[in-house]
């Protein structure tokens, strides 16, 4: 069933088709955006278009992937695109990582103890808001 015919979901997790097979391999925690085809996703190419983070593949031989949708209750796992201090607000960056931010489409606030280095996974409280 395609993503837009599933209706409202009461879960943060949703299944999509990978736009280009294999491009999300090893990208757990990276941001994704909607792909061109209905029900598809791809690695974030345009900051501000993020819909969630890549969580994994349903089956190693499948192009069906699980996405943790933004805006849900609880925390979200991200990959840092630079040093992010505990308590800092974050936003998406091209390539799917997140960076510290004070304006724009803020995705949440880091709750990982201490600073997070570039490429490290960390948790942020989900609080999608626009601080333009």
Is the pTM of the predicted complex or chain greater than 0.75? yes
Residue 30 Cα distances to 2, 24, 102, angstroms = 22, 9, 20
The tokens for 41 are 């996703």
Which residue is associated with the tokens 């993503």?
Answer: 3
pLDDT tens profile 27-77: 999 999 999 999 999 999 999 899 999 999 988 889 999 999 987 767 788
pLDDT tens profile 85-108: 988 889 999 999 999 999 888 888
């Amino acid at each position: 069933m395609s993503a837009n015919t599933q209706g409202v979901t009461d879960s943060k997790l949703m299944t999509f088709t990978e736009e280009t097979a294999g491009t999300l391999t090893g990208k757990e925690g990276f941001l994704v955006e909607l792909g061109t085809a209905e029900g598809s996703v791809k690695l974030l190419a345009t900051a501000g278009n993020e819909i969630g983070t890549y969580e994994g593949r349903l089956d190693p031989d499948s192009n069906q992937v699980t996405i943790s949708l933004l805006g849900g209750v609880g925390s979200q796992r991200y990959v840092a695109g630079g040093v992010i201090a505990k308590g800092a607000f974050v936003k998406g960056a091209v390539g799917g990582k997140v960076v510290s931010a004070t304006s724009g489409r803020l995705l949440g606030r880091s709750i990982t103890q201490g600073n997070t280095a570039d490429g490290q996974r960390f948790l942020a409280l989900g609080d999608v808001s626009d601080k333009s």
